[in-house]
Structure 1
Amino acid sequence: MDYYAIVHNDFDGTASAAVYARAVNSLPKKTFFTEPTKIHDLLGKLELRGVNNIMIADIGINASTLETTLKNLKRLISEGAKVQWFDHHVWKEDWKKKLNEIGVEVYHDTSTCGAGVIVKYLIPNDEFSKKLASADCSVDIWLHDDPMGEKLRRVVESNRDYSWKEYLIKKFYQGILWDEEFEKILIDQVDKELKGYEKLQKYVRLLEIDGKKVVVAVRWKGPPDISYASQFLMNRYNAIVFASVNGKAISFRSNIIEVRKYAEKLGGGGHPLAAGAGLKAPFWRFFLHRLGYRKPMLDWVSNIVKNVINDIGFVPYQKKDVPM
């Protein structure tokens, strides 16, 4: 079957593309890696070129771009496309209704990760896909209950090139979960992470909001990635929320606070404990940050984080059982 895969540009997106390929017994004609804030633009530019099947996975809906997304999907469907959308982020029921009305098959389940949704609905008896989804969910929705997830995430994120993720999709499709190549990458990544932790203090600021500690950061180059760094910094400073900016977006992390509410306030979304939103920094602050002057960016993000937390408060996350 010829199809296009449109997935998030992270481990969950990569795993989602792989398990879908195993479900339909075919690799995609082309894989597009994108983000929820850019899906509407990608769909607007997409040309079918004889490929009439489109799968979208691990891409949430943003209220601000919903209408444009619907418009662009309508155009593709009118040209003969069949669209399946698999996701696990929080959606409004109205969004699913609108997508269904224009002919999109929506598979939505917040109890698992993106790859887990596909396994659950398309390929529940494939042992390899279940193992890959288990590892993926462990790190993507912060379950931390499968050691393979910590290993594979480092492998997937070791190279930001999309060609690397396409290569991994092929390996996973072939049923390769771990091999010597991955082992060497893991050793190299862990070594880089250990060196990277030493420099993190230069990029962070500790806030106290309503008697609770919050770490804010401007993004650094190289390992550790945001998920591992956020855990390290929250533990080091006894903080309950972590927020970071890279000039284009803001990300939130926590182990006990529902940070998705902060992301939603800023026009984004995500998981209860890991979420984000588009947030463009003023050019002069971003420019100074690139030159090594981090204070202007830290001042800016600190004010944004203070304001959004003061508006929302600290809402404890109510953990739910996650079946896999």
Structure 2
Amino acid sequence: MNIKRMKWILSFMLADAIGLIPENITIAHGDVDGMASAAIVKRARGDSYVVFSGPRSVSKMLGMIRRKHKIFIVDVAINPSALSEITRKLKRLKEKGSEITWIDHHPWTKEAIETIGRYAEIHVKEEKSAARLVMEILNPEDEVSRKIAEIADDADTAEYSMEISRLYRAGSRGSKLRKRIVDLMAEGKFMDEELEEKLKNSMEKEGKSRTDVNYQFLTTSSGKKFVLIDLRPSGGPGSVIAKELCLKEDFDFALVIFSCEKFSLYRCKGSENLSKVCEEYEGGGHPYACGGRIKMPFYRKILCKILGKGYRPPEIDELIERVRKLNEEASSDNNDKC
């Protein structure tokens, strides 16, 4: 954990302990859909403290909340390995009097629904985006919320046919930009000159990074062809790059290495359930698109960041081999998902 993150955790816990955090807290995924979902919650329920999290880290965020709140968790899937830990945190919060609503469009196991349902109001349903589900549940008559859901649909299906969804995606990598986007959507303004300039600059940088993409084609043990896209050390728009390659090349799915810590899988064709792989790497998502975390010793992480593509730590090689071998298991129908 870096110093900046530690300072934020301490400041949040102190602010919550002395009552400075608003009654409503929204925990959302950090992509366009998560931002859109958080914005709809704000429109429907008023002022809300928004934090961004994921399938594994959501338990840590829940553990930081010390007082009674109305908590909305949106567009965050459940990682099976974190289920018991999340359950303990939710139980503690409910005993303190907190009201918890969890709205998600990712697949959940029956066990997760039954267990989490004891302590939270759960809405799990397959939709193009979580924001659409949030809108239908919390604010179905609001035209602005409907427009927000349309942006989320466009982004979370990786269509990106709307300029604003492309701009928002460029702003999904920094917490300050994310919160500004959430606030503007919640106000029904969507964009201002300052934000547009920052997002366009970010898109321009991403465009330059896409001209020098390092990728190679590999094959799974079951004969499926996949592309390895290495975006280290600076990352980039992995979903967009994968989709562009899908249109030009013939392969089944893409493994995108964003950094020495994060990766994603994107399905190009077929019916492989890629989320099984991501769940084993403390992540989650959809069967067709998901993400996970790469763990390695600190010294390797430093080398990885400094040397970029010039150094591939064994943990990344292990991930690649895991993808090769687990693809057969991941492609089988997961009948206990709802």
TM-score (norm 2): 0.80
Displacement, 1:71?
A: 0.6
1:1-324 equivalence runs, <5 A = 2-24=23-45, 26-28=46-48, 30-48=49-67, 51-102=68-119, 104-144=120-160, 146=162, 148-154=164-170, 156-157=171-172, 160=174, 162-201=175-214, 204-209=215-220, 211-222=223-234, 224-235=236-247, 237-245=249-257, 246-257=259-270, 258=272, 259-283=274-298, 285-292=300-307, 294=309, 296-297=311-312, 300-313=315-328, 315=331
Deviates more, 1:170-179 or 1:285-294: 285-294
Q: Distance in 2 between matches of 1:142 and 1:273?
A: 11
Deviates more, 1:186-195 or 1:91-100: 186-195
AA matched with 1:54: I
Q: For residues 194 and 223 of structure 1, what CA distance do their matches in structure 2 show?
A: 12
The one-character-per-residue Cα deviations of 1:78-108 (angstroms, maximum 9, x if unpaired) are: 1111111111111012211112223x11111
RMSD: 2.8
By how many angstroms is 1:61 displaced? 0.7
CA deviation string 1:256-298 (max 9, x = no partner): 2432233245453211221022331354543332232535527
Q: Give the distance between the partners of 2:243 and 2:252, measured in 1 at CA.
A: 10
More divergent stretch after superposition (188-197 vs 217-226): 217-226
In the TM superposition, residue 222 of structure 1 has moved relative to its aligned partner by 4.7
Match of 2:117, SS state, is helix
Residues of 1 paired with 2:288 and 2:195: CA distance? Answer: 28
Q: Taking structure 1 as reference, are residues 183 and 168 closer, same or farther at Cα in structure 2, changes over 3 Å only?
A: closer
Secondary structure of 1:73's counterpart equals: helix
- What is the SS of the residue equivalent to 2:72? strand
How far apart, CA to CA, are the structure 2 residues paired with 1:116 and 1:274?
18
Aligned length: 307
Q: Decide whether the 8 Å contact of 2:28 with 2:37 is kept in 1.
A: yes
Q: Is the 8 A contact 1:250 1:279 kept in 2?
A: yes
CA–CA distance in structure 2, aligned partners of residues 249 and 70 of structure 1: 25
Question: Which residue of 1 is the match for residue 11 of structure 2?
Answer: none
Aligned-residue offset at 1:45: 2.0
Gaps spanning 5+ residues in structure 2: where? 1-21, 334-338
SS at match of 1:118: helix
Shift of 1:253: 1.1
Which runs of 5 or more residues in structure 1 are unaligned?
A: 318-324
In structure 2, the residue matched to 1:320 is none
CA contact (8 A) 2:184 2:191 kept: no
Aligned to 1:294, the other structure's residue is in SS state helix
Tell me what 2:8 maps to.
Answer: none
Residue 63 of structure 1 and its aligned partner are, at CA, apart by 0.8
Question: Cα distance 1:183–1:33, how it changes in 2: closer, same or farther (>3 A)?
Answer: closer
1:268, 1:277 within 8 Å by CA — same for their partners in 2? yes
Q: Distance in 1 between matches of 2:313 and 2:218?
A: 11
Deviation at 1:37, TM superposition (A): 1.0
Deviation of the 1:134 alpha carbon: 1.1
Once residues 142 and 65 of structure 1 are traced to their aligned partners in structure 2, the CA distance between those partners, rounded to angstroms, is: 28
Shifted more, 249-258 versus 133-142: the winner is 249-258
